[in-house]
């Protein structure tokens, strides 16, 4: 249990607090509408469906206030910098922004469903109450209409029994905006499913921008003031005395005509702050988009990996950060995240883009179709591509990998192109050793790279060779322990490796460290790290698939010790 608290304690506490607020809001407003004297006559028409409609609305307001904040990347980067003085556990919560965003979205979806179903019952009850008999309280309440002579206000928003629930839904402000909001929410949630997001990112990207329609409809949804409550009259209307004699309303002093009014819209008060923050966020992105970007170098690496080295005035980065790229020649609106592979010490920033989707494939084809020139095959002259396509850059933004130098020992795990943040980290380490940086706190790094094909190793092996040689010259072989795993291999690969096993360098990478075939035995690796670092805090960083993340997270919990003098593993995952 103690091991679990080390990695998940604060996250669980935040979720518990959030859930407690949701439950408290639901219970408070449910009781307010189910037992409040102001809505006694309203409940005569609607019954318990009134409370079931209004309680979810309060929870919706709260969560709609939160939903935009986790995707304000500049705000998160600002907070990450503000929390530098705080513990790593606090900063780790910012890396779970998308998880919290999804959690809030699920709550919005659930409360929307309850709210909508309850209001469908309410609409049916409004309609049915107009078909009652004289003396029936619900019928008499439904007959009340606005009158300047009697100073009355209506309770039932259906003007006559010819108004069906379907007509009301599509002719009233509340009904029409409710339909729009619900449809937008359904499209956003369904397009956010992982199978669609991974295979059809453009569908997800464009559909998710229906949040503009969602919030616009949300602000105006309450303007219809459909749910109405009783207001104070002079003399006061005594409900307990008058409810059994509606024929005497307005005839005796104790029973003046009851008056009703809808509550003022409140949603805008919840969402106005986050909306302003998000608008500022988008304005900042636009300003960054307009800033000029020049191309320093463009190379097509093996396995269809495109390397872009870019220069932008005033651009400042840290290790492990990422940027969003936009290519107007492909799409004016689409922005895609890519981890920076350059080091902060370099005078440019770079990204490595693997062709895995429509946008990346189009970008790669644009480069492949350009004339060759410069220093070799597929090394494209910069001015040609600059004229062909302008690139917009937004960022950089912080990630979990920024904290790598805050740990004495770090385990870096990359899967395929997921090695990119660690390229930045390893390059920065090389520069720090080169400059003899006294601030380097890290004492040891374990690096694991899992790839399905041999070509994927090629573009990164040269950096590892430099680091390998640098560590040997400085007598620090133990500082960097790296292991490369080829997960997609056949018998021919194994036979070839056996024939050349006695060579000093690996036949695939040219490194002294031989490539492993298959997947790592993570229990063995974690046990080794724990034995070699018996009293260290180990940061485990992953950029890879969710299945691997779950496995590593379990290992961090399993091999962490509650004793503060023993080894502890903190799990960190890249999230975009």
Both tokens of residue 565? 């003098």
The confidence band for 376, taking pLDDT boundaries of 50, 70 and 90, is very low
Locate all alpha helices (DSSP H) within 302-356, ordered by sequence: none
pLDDT in tens, 493-510: 555 555 445 555 555 555
Q: What mean pLDDT do residues 179-191 have?
A: 93
Amino acid 378: pLDDT: 42
Residue 376's φ and ψ, nearest 5 degrees, are 160, 180
Average pLDDT across the chain, whole number: 81
pLDDT in tens, 13-53: 899 999 999 999 999 999 999 998 889 989 988 889 999 99
Over 80: is that where the pLDDT of 452 sits?
Answer: no
Both tokens of residue 169? 């839904």
Amino acid 189: pLDDT: 92
Amino acid 250: pLDDT: 81
Give the residue from 34, 190, 182 showing the smallest Cα distance to 120: 182
Amino acid 32: pLDDT: 94
Least confident interval from 70-79, 102-111, 291-300, 462-471: 462-471
Amino acid 28: pLDDT: 96
Spatial neighbors of 194 by CB under 8 A, at least 6 apart, are: none
Q: What mean pLDDT do residues 47-64 have?
A: 94
Exposure on the CB side of residue 164, measured as CA atoms within 13 A: 2
Give the residue from 205, 194, 188 showing the smallest Cα distance to 336: 205
Rounded Cα distance, 177 and 172, in Å: 8
The confidence band for 58, taking pLDDT boundaries of 50, 70 and 90, is very high
Give the residue from 252, 228, 254 showing the smallest Cα distance to 241: 254
Over 80: is that where the pLDDT of 163 sits?
Answer: no
The confidence band for 263, taking pLDDT boundaries of 50, 70 and 90, is confident
Rounded Cα distance, 68 and 64, in Å: 8
Both tokens of residue 31? 């009781």
- Superfamily of domain 292-397 in CATH is Translation factors (2.40.30.10)
Q: The dihedral of CA 516, 519, 524, 528: what is its sign?
A: positive
Give the residue from 407, 402, 413 showing the smallest Cα distance to 448: 413
Rounded Cα distance, 325 and 373, in Å: 25
Asked whether 411 and 400 are in contact (CB, 8 A), the reply is: no
Per the listing, tokens 């974690």 go with 526
Asked whether 21 and 58 are in contact (CB, 8 A), the reply is: no
The confidence band for 454, taking pLDDT boundaries of 50, 70 and 90, is low
Q: The dihedral of CA 102, 173, 33, 51: what is its sign?
A: negative
Q: What mean pLDDT do residues 525-554 have?
A: 87
More confident residue, 356 or 62: 62
Per the listing, tokens 């990346």 go with 360
SS3 27: helix
Over 50: is that where the pLDDT of 549 sits?
Answer: yes
Q: Sheet containing 322-326: which strands, arranged edge to edge?
A: 336-339, 322-326, 392-397
Amino acid 490: pLDDT: 57
Rounded Cα distance, 197 and 189, in Å: 11
Rounded Cα distance, 256 and 250, in Å: 4
Rounded Cα distance, 62 and 513, in Å: 54
Amino acid 179: pLDDT: 92
Residue 372 has a CB neighbour count (10 Å cut-off) of 12
The confidence band for 156, taking pLDDT boundaries of 50, 70 and 90, is confident
Rounded Cα distance, 330 and 327, in Å: 6
Asked whether 76 and 62 are in contact (CB, 8 A), the reply is: no
Q: CA torsion 222→226→229→235, rounded to 10°?
A: 110
| Burial (CB count <10 Å: 0-12, 13-18, 19+), residue 387 | exposed
Rounded Cα distance, 573 and 575, in Å: 6
Asked whether 511 and 465 are in contact (CB, 8 A), the reply is: yes
Q: Where are the domains of the chain?
A: 2-172+226-275, 292-397, 400-573
Rounded Cα distance, 417 and 234, in Å: 74
Both tokens of residue 548? 């691997």
Q: What mean pLDDT do residues 374-385 have?
A: 42
Asked whether 461 and 506 are in contact (CB, 8 A), the reply is: no
Amino acid 78: pLDDT: 80
Q: What percent of the chain has pLDDT above 70? A: 82
Asked whether 87 and 32 are in contact (CB, 8 A), the reply is: no
Residue 296's φ and ψ, nearest 5 degrees, are -90, -40
Q: What mean pLDDT do residues 251-264 have?
A: 85
Amino acid 103: pLDDT: 94
* CA 65 from centre of chain: 15
Residue 398's φ and ψ, nearest 5 degrees, are -80, 155
Q: What mean pLDDT do residues 245-264 have?
A: 85
More confident residue, 446 or 466: 446
Over 70: is that where the pLDDT of 576 sits?
Answer: no
Per the listing, tokens 């100073």 go with 151
Least confident interval from 280-289, 380-389, 510-519: 380-389
Both tokens of residue 50? 């009134």
Amino acid 84: pLDDT: 55
- Calculate ∠ Cα 365-366-371, nearest 5°: 105
Residue 284's φ and ψ, nearest 5 degrees, are -65, -40
Both tokens of residue 33? 């509408």
pLDDT in tens, 323-350: 888 888 888 778 888 888 888 888 889 8
Amino acid 372: pLDDT: 55
Give the residue from 79, 113, 100 showing the smallest Cα distance to 10: 100
Over 50: is that where the pLDDT of 379 sits?
Answer: no
Q: CA torsion 74→391→358→106, rounded to 10°?
A: 10
Both tokens of residue 413? 């795990």
> Which run of H or E residues covers position 296?
strand 294-301
Over 80: is that where the pLDDT of 385 sits?
Answer: no
Both tokens of residue 538? 């180990």
The confidence band for 453, taking pLDDT boundaries of 50, 70 and 90, is low
Locate all alpha helices (DSSP H) within 305-452, ordered by sequence: 358-368, 382-388, 420-434
Amino acid 404: pLDDT: 82
Helices 173-191 and 201-208: angle between axes, nearest 10 degrees: 160
* CA 568 from centre of chain: 28
* CATH match of 400-573 with 3.40.50.80: yes
Both tokens of residue 544? 């890879």
Over 90: is that where the pLDDT of 254 sits?
Answer: no
Give the residue from 547, 372, 381, 536 showing the smallest Cα distance to 443: 536
Q: What is the pTM of this model?
A: 0.79
Over 60: is that where the pLDDT of 384 sits?
Answer: no
Least confident interval from 61-65, 177-181, 209-213, 414-418: 414-418
Q: What percent of the chain has pLDDT above 90? A: 19
Q: What mean pLDDT do residues 407-421 have?
A: 82
């Amino acid at each position: 249990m103690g091991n679990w608290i080390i990695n998940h304690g604060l996250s669980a506490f935040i979720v518990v607090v959030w859930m407690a607020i949701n439950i408290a809001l639901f219970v408070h407003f449910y009781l307010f509408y189910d037992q409040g004297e102001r809505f006694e006559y309203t409940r005569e028409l609607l019954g318990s469906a009134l409370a079931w409609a209004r309680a979810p609305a309060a929870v919706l307001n709260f969560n709609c206030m939160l939903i935009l904040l986790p995707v304000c990347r500049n705000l998160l980067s600002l907070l990450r910098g503000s929390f530098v003085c705080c513990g790593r556990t606090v900063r780790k919560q910012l890396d779970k922004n998308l998880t919290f965003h999804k959690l809030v979205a699920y709550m919005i979806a659930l409360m929307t469903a309850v709210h909508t179903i309850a209001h469908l019952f309410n609409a049916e009850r409004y309609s049915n109450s107009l078909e009652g008999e004289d003396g029936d309280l619900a019928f008499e309440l439904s007959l009340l209409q606005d009158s300047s002579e009697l100073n009355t206000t209506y309770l039932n928003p259906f003007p006559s029994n010819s108004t069906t629930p379907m007509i009301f839904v599509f002719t009233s402000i509340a009904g029409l905006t409710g339909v729009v909001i619900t449809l937008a929410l359904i499209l956003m949630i369904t397009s956010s499913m992982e199978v669609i997001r991974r295979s059809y990112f453009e569908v997800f990207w464009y559909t998710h921008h229906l949040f503009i329609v969602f919030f616009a409809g949300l602000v105006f949804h309450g303007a219809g003031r459909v749910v109405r409550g009783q207001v104070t009259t002079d003399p006061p209307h005594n409900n307990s005395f008058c409810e059994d004699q509606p024929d005497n309303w307005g005839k005796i002093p104790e029973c003046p005509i009851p008056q009703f009014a809808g509550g003022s819209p409140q949603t805008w008060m919840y969402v106005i702050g986050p909306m302003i923050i998000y608008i500022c966020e988008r304005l900042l992105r636009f300003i960054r988009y307009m800033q000029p970007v020049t191309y320093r170098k463009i190379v097509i690496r093996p396995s269809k990996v495109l390397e872009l080295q870019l220069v932008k005035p005033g651009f400042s980065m840290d290790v492990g950060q990422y940027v969003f790229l936009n290519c107007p020649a492909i799409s004016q609106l689409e922005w895609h995240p890519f981890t920076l592979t350059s080091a902060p010490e370099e005078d440019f920033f770079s990204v490595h883009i693997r062709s895995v989707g429509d946008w990346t494939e189009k970008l790669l084809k644009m480069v492949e179709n350009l004339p060759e020139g410069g220093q070799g095959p597929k090394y494209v002259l910069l001015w040609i591509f600059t004229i062909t396509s302008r690139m917009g850059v937004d960022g950089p933004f912080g990630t979990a990998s920024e904290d790598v130098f805050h740990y004495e020992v770090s385990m870096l795990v990359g899967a395929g192109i997921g090695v990119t943040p660690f390229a930045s980290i390893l390059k920065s380490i090389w520069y720090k050793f080169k400059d003899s940086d006294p601030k380097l706190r890290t004492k040891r790094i374990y690096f694991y790279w899992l790839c399905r094909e041999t070509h994927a190793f090629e573009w990164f092996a040269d950096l590892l060779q430099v680091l390998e040689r640098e560590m040997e010259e400085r007598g620090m072989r133990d500082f960097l322990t790296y292991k490369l795993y080829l997960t997609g291999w056949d018998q021919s690969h194994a036979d070839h490796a056996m024939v050349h096993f006695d060579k000093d360098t690996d036949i695939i990478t040219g490194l002294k460290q031989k490539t492993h075939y298959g997947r790592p035995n993570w229990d063995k690796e974690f046990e080794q790290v724990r034995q070699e670092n018996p009293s260290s805090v180990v940061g485990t960083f992953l950029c890879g698939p969710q299945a691997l993340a779950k496995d590593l997270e379990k290992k961090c919990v399993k091999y962490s010790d509650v004793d503060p003098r023993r080894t502890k593993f903190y799990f960190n995952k890249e999230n975009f």
